[in-house]
Each structure stands twice: as C-alpha cells, then as structure tokens.
Amino acid sequence: VGRVCQNLMLAAHDAGLASCPVTIHRSDDARAQLGLDDAYDVLMAVVMGHPAPRKGERRSHPRHALDDIVVWR
C-alpha cells in the first residue's frame, strides 16, 4: 500500500498537484462512507488538490543550518 501511495503522490506532484497521505484509524466508518462491503479494509487515503499560490517568503521560522543542530562524530 505504501509504495502504491508513494508512486501516486509522485505522479500527482509531476502533474502540479499537492498530496498528503492519511492513516485511517476507523476503517469501518471509512468503508461505510465509501460504500464498500466488509471484504475491504480501508487503511490509508491520499488527499490531493491544487496547492495554494506562493506568496512571498516562508511565514514559518527560518531553517537552522544543519551544522547548528547536528553533532558530527
């Protein structure tokens, strides 16, 4: 399942779409919403959509340099 989702997400990115994997914790509820019979277990979903347009710089804190947070031995 993981590799299928990975390839799906890579193809989505190539098509200009954003994606996010989601673990399903309530398989029974997901199965009911999707109209699937009991033979299926819903373990994971991948949500996709068009990313928001970029507006200027990052709003989060600036990234730290790797050497500032990693000790090399």
pLDDT tens column, 21-45: 999 999 999 999 999 999 999 999 9
Locate 61 and state its tokens: 């804190």
pTM of the predicted model over 0.75: no
Cα distances (Å, whole numbers) of residue 64 to 27, 32, 59, 68, 72:
39, 45, 15, 6, 16
Residue 60, pLDDT above cutoff 70? no
Range of lowest pLDDT (6-10, 46-50, 62-66): 62-66
